[in-house]
């Protein structure tokens, strides 16, 4: 029955899937992707325009007193997309997690948060590097409590149609930039030993915080759904980790300050999920060599050539990493043969549901593992 349902979906016949069936399909293909020692495996995440209520501005909410109202608005925003994708059978699962923009990646350290309409920013609070010893990672921090409370509220809303995904965090250098500000980049030269101490302390905190994210999010067939991909990854995956601060420093600074602490950090896990940008590549070959890299997301910056139009550059700088790349359905059609040179998880904007369905069929027909 399951195989017949899958054939009907692939042939374009509408066939609703239960969440359990969606999980089985996605996990089977994802296991093949992450376990493969050879290239040619493709996964696909289709983004489809859908009629739904607009997401209210974050600035309309006092999250400490109106967290549940914000999360209800977030649920209302995602449900129409989950519904329209139910019969698509791409490589994502309906999921949600507490989301307030960017600041939740760092506010658990004790930072204040500045809300904007569509995101949030941490307010740097380490004004002297000597204050690093005063850093305390504790569940009593208000924004830690908001994440915990958010996961608990969303868990009570679960009705068999969605999963709780893992939100992710920052790499130590990115987190240091968030709580120290751009003074960090002169600290490299003026107070290098204190920078090393700050990064070591933050690495310890990241492991502590990530352990809570693991507890709060759903376990799905011995793995996790990650919010940044919408897909499933195997047990022991650490991430996602962002390190946007590397765009602002030299390759030597990344090598001397960030890479050693990242290498030690990821050694505590079986694999990692990492997020970078394609604006600059000077630090990427070393980052891509981090042990256990399961998936490297290369996002498109507005002033850079889109990754799907610049695959030679992407491949040249990223070793043999599995890649998460963004683009349009037409870009995938133009470059489908080149994409088979690596294992690639495609996160793609489609024109409509028919375009998405056709794209899923195309990707399946070119992937080593198709069912």
DSSP for 133-160 reads GG----TTSHHHHHHHHHHHHHHHH--S
Q: What is the pLDDT of residue 196?
A: 98
Closest CA to 172 of 238, 219, 74, 83: 238
Is the pLDDT at 340 greater than 70, yes or no?
Answer: yes
For the segment 225-284, what is each residue's pLDDT rounded down to a tens digit?
A: 999 999 999 999 999 999 999 999 999 999 999 999 999 999 999 999 999 999 999 999
Mean pLDDT value of segment 26-38: 96
Q: What is the pLDDT of residue 15?
A: 72
Strand, helix or coil for residue 164? strand
- What are the φ/ψ torsions at residue 265 (nearest 5 degrees)? -65, -50
Distance CA 27, CA 31 (A): 6
DSSP code for 255 = I
Q: What is the pLDDT of residue 313?
A: 98
- Is there a contact between 303 and 278 (Cβ–Cβ < 8 Å)? no
Q: What is the pLDDT of residue 370?
A: 77
For the segment 62-76, what is each residue's pLDDT rounded down to a tens digit?
A: 999 999 999 999 999
Q: Does domain 2-366 have CATH number 3.20.20.210?
A: yes
Q: What is the pLDDT of residue 191?
A: 97
Q: What is the pLDDT of residue 52?
A: 93
pLDDT band (50, 70, 90) for residue 3: low
DSSP output for 189-203: HH-HHHHHHHHHHHH
For the segment 192-234, what is each residue's pLDDT rounded down to a tens digit?
A: 999 999 999 999 999 999 999 999 999 999 999 999 999 999 9
For the segment 80-107, what is each residue's pLDDT rounded down to a tens digit?
A: 999 999 999 999 999 999 999 999 999 9
pLDDT band (50, 70, 90) for residue 371: confident
E-strand spans in 329-369?
344-349
Q: What is the pLDDT of residue 218?
A: 98
pLDDT band (50, 70, 90) for residue 53: confident
- Is there a contact between 104 and 92 (Cβ–Cβ < 8 Å)? no
Distance CA 173, CA 200 (A): 10
For the segment 145-197, what is each residue's pLDDT rounded down to a tens digit?
A: 999 999 999 999 999 999 999 999 999 999 999 999 999 999 999 999 999 99
Residues in the chain: 371
Closest CA to 346 of 336, 71, 80, 186: 336
CB-based contacts of 37, cutoff 8 Å, min separation 6: none
Q: What is the pLDDT of residue 369?
A: 87
Question: 14-28, 31-45, 170-184: which range is least confident on average?
Answer: 14-28
Is the pLDDT at 6 greater than 90, yes or no?
Answer: no
DSSP code for 321 = -
Distance CA 252, CA 195 (A): 15
């Amino acid at each position: 029955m399951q195989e017949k349902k899958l054939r009907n979906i692939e042939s374009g016949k509408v066939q609703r899937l239960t969440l359990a069936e969606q999980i089985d399909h996605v996990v089977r293909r994802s296991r093949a992707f992450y376990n493969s020692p050879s290239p040619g495996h493709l996964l696909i995440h289709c983004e489809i325009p859908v009629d739904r209520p607009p997401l209210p501005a974050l600035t309309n909410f006092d999250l400490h007193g109106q967290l549940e109202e914000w999360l209800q608005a977030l649920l209302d925003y995602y449900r129409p997309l989950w519904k329209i994708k139910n019969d698509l059978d791409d490589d994502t699962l309906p999921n949600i997690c507490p989301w307030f923009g960017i600041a939740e990646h760092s506010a658990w350290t004790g930072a204040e948060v500045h809300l904007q309409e569509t995101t949030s920013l941490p307010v740097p609070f380490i004004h002297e590097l000597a204050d690093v010893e005063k850093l305390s990672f504790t569940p009593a921090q208000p924004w830690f409590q908001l994440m915990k409370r958010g996961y608990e509220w969303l868990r009570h809303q679960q009705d068999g149609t969605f999963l709780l995904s893992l939100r992710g965090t920052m790499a130590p250098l990115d987190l240091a930039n968030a709580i120290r500000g751009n003074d960090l980049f002169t600290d490299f030269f003026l107070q290098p030993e204190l920078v090393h101490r700050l990064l070591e302390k933050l690495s310890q905190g990241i492991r502590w915080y990530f352990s809570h994210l693991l507890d709060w999010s759903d376990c799905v067939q011995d793995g996790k759904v990650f919010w940044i991909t919408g897909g499933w990854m195997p047990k022991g995956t650490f991430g996602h980790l962002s390190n946007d601060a590397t765009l602002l420093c030299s390759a030597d600074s990344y090598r001397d300050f960030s890479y050693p602490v990242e290498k030690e950090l990821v050694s505590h896990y079986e694999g990692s999920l990492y997020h970078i940008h394609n604006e600059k590549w000077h630090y990427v070959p070393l980052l891509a060599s981090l042990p256990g890299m399961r998936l490297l997301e290369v996002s498109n910056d507005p002033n850079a050539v889109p990754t799907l139009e610049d695959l030679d550059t992407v491949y040249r700088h990223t070793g043999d990493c599995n890649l998460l790349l963004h683009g349009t359905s037409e870009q995938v059609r133009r470059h489908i043969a080149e994409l088979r040179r690596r294992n690639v998880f495609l996160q793609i904007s489609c024109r409509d549901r028919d375009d998405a369905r056709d794209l899923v069929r195309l990707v399946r027909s070119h992937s080593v593992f198709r069912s």
